[in-house]
Each structure stands twice: as structure tokens, then as C-alpha cells.
Amino acid sequence: MSFTLKDGNTPFQFPVNPEEVNISRSKGYETVNMLEHGEFDFAQGEKVKEITFSSFFPKRFDPSYCMDEKSFLDPRVAMNVLNTFLISKKPLRFIISETGVNVPVFIVSLNSSFRGGETGDIYFDLTLRTWRDSKVEKVGSAASGSKSGSRTDLKKSSKTYTVKSGDSLSKIAKLELGSSSKWNEIYKLNAKIIGSDPNRIKPGQKLVMP
């Protein structure tokens, strides 16, 4: 197994494999507060992944743990390569052989340290974030219809009705819900506005429909 960053066609192979690699995944949500009905979450798709690992650049090549002598670099030279990648505005490709990891990334964090008794070795902590093209993909009519449909349903659930002169809850229920017997559903949602007597509704009152 090898760990490689590619800048175009130029590979940079890490000489010592990290003990572990952490890949963080999460999903984004948009929270909408709808009057009288509380909060609703709408999934916004997968967030950008973060990949983190730690390793070191040894001063001397040791075949017992170093990967490839041909690509072996002096630790200071290797750190300069990573620093160049860090400030670059062009995405790299991160590849872990023998796995399914082969993704475009940016280096977003690079920390280095030195340890007593290990002269010349440079240790580092690296954080990568996966990159996605900002071009907007065209969505088929079926998919867009489904998305807009779900939003529309929620908007319908918070529809309001403005009371007019001569209205009653049973009349409104017949008009809006198709059955005068559903007047009690309207009353339960609007008891604070109407008061204790469901027969005393006033023109101008805005009632939330079930």
C-alpha cells in the first residue's frame, strides 16, 4: 500500500505510511421554521469530506519501513513540496493504493514538529479536504419535480385563511377542507386566536388551515 499526492502527472509519494487515516463524512441540513408548525429539516447533500493523517519524513532511508528509495527526498525538501501544495490554488489528487481512495483534494492544514534524539527527521500532521467542481449539474424534471413537490406540501400545511363577515368555522371547513364536519380541526389549531367560544370568530382574523 502506498500514499501519493499527484500534482497533474507529477506524483509525490509519502516515504512512511501513516498508522491510520481518518475520513470524516457528514450531511448538510437546512432548518426552516414554519409558523405554527415548528422547525423542519431539509437535507442539502453530502458535505465536503476531510481526510487527516500523521507521519514523518526520515532523514535516512530505511527499507524496513520506507516505501520507495527512488522517490525518497530529504525531509526539508519534502516539507517544501507540501508547503507548495498548501498554498496552491490547484486541486491535487490523493491516492491510497489497494483501496478505493482516489479523490481530488486541497491541503488545508499542515503542521510539522521535531523530536529530540531523531536529528533531521520531520514529523507532520496533514488535513485534506475533498474538492468538487462548482459547476451546477442539470437535474432531470422528475427529480426537480419531486423536490419542489415536497416543499409545496409543507407550504400547503401552513396555509392561512382570513375570516370574512358572515363566516363560521363550519362554513370555512366546507370551503377549505371539503367538509363542514372538520370545523373542529380548524378550531384546535387556532384556539388561542379564536378564544373559548368557536362560534365567535371575527372578520380579519387569520386562521391556520390543517
Does one domain contain both 37 and 84?
yes
Does one domain contain both 183 and 111?
no
pLDDT exceeds 90 at position 53: yes
Residue 187's domain is classified under what CATH number? 3.10.350.10
Q: How far apart are CA 96 and CA 158, in angstroms?
A: 50
Does one domain contain both 113 and 35?
yes
Asked whether residue 149 is domain-assigned, the answer is no
* Predicted pLDDT at 198: 87
Q: How far apart are CA 124 and CA 115, in angstroms?
A: 11
Q: How far apart are CA 11 and CA 131, in angstroms?
A: 18
Q: How far apart are CA 21 and CA 103, in angstroms?
A: 14
Cα Rg of the chain, angstroms: 31
Does one domain contain both 122 and 37?
yes
* Predicted pLDDT at 93: 93
- Residue 93's domain comprises 3-130
Q: 198, 208 in Cβ contact below 8 A?
A: no
Cα dist. 123→18, 55, 66, 75, 190 in Å? Answer: 11, 6, 14, 9, 65
Q: What is the pTM of this model?
A: 0.52
Does one domain contain both 93 and 54?
yes
Q: Which among 109, 99, 108 is positioned nearest to 131, based on CA atoms? A: 108
**Average pLDDT of span 143-155:** 47
Asked whether residue 141 is domain-assigned, the answer is no
Asked whether residue 139 is domain-assigned, the answer is no
Does one domain contain both 174 and 82?
no
* Predicted pLDDT at 67: 87
Asked whether residue 152 is domain-assigned, the answer is no
Asked whether residue 154 is domain-assigned, the answer is no
What mean pLDDT, rounded, does the chain reach?
82
Which neighbouring-strand residues pair with 107? 128
Q: 102, 127 in Cβ contact below 8 A?
A: no
Which neighbouring-strand residues pair with 102? 95
Buried b (16+ CB within 10 A) or exposed e, 101-111: eebebbbeebe
Task: Please give the share of the chain, as a percent, with pLDDT higher than 90.
Answer: 36
Residue 83's domain is classified under what CATH number? 2.40.30
Domains of the chain: total: 2
Does one domain contain both 25 and 118?
yes
Asked whether residue 64 is domain-assigned, the answer is yes
List pLDDT tens digits, range 90-148. Answer: 999 999 988 888 889 999 999 999 998 888 999 999 999 988 776 655 555 444 444 44
List pLDDT tens digits, range 178-205. Answer: 888 888 889 888 888 888 888 889 999 9
Task: Please give the share of the chain, as a percent, with pLDDT higher than 70.
Answer: 77
Asked whether residue 194 is domain-assigned, the answer is yes
Does one domain contain both 125 and 163?
no
